[in-house]
Structure 1
């Protein structure tokens, strides 16, 4: 039992040492190296603060670009809608004009047909007398 407990707890001790203690050692060691090298920027900020400020500045820049792109998109949509409305208005006007022209042509055709029928009836009346005379011979 003693050997079993020793093995179990020894393995647990090895795992904890490897994960927790070695991670703490690396962190402390890197911090010491950075302090020894005096790894600060000219304005005295540490690199993490600088990275954070650069990230925020970059994010603001991206947000501004996204906003500009959205504005351009909205403007293009407005222009396209305006062109479509203008095109629709032009086509509606053209259809109206074509319908008026078609009505005028239909009216002219009806008048021409009526004139033709009147002239035909008059011609038949004039030539009926001649047709009757030729039939009598």
Structure 2
């Protein structure tokens, strides 16, 4: 089956929420994803298979040269097929084309191999305040 990747792809809020809820293990809500992304994001990448949304990543930015990967998610049934790395690679291409010079990502320890080894992020010191 062919998988297509689309920068700033058109999606249905409920399809993205279903994918997000599955991937991050929370109950589905009625989140206005399209409005949120258009207000705060440089772009996003959708992965499609047979007309179904099976992957997503958001690219927030500072309005200048820094972009940030958020909410990388792949449907359970589609994992371990390289879709996540293609999402992040397509996000990097979109951020680069928009003039960004840096792509940042924060991740939990169990995702280190994915972001560092598979996607090619370098490690850097960072700070975080839980609010």
Structure number, greater radius of gyration: 1
TM-score (norm 1): 0.19
Higher helix share: 1
TM-score (norm 2): 0.19
Considering Cα pairs closer than 8 Å and 6+ residues apart, tell me whether 1 or 2 has the greater RCO.
Answer: 2
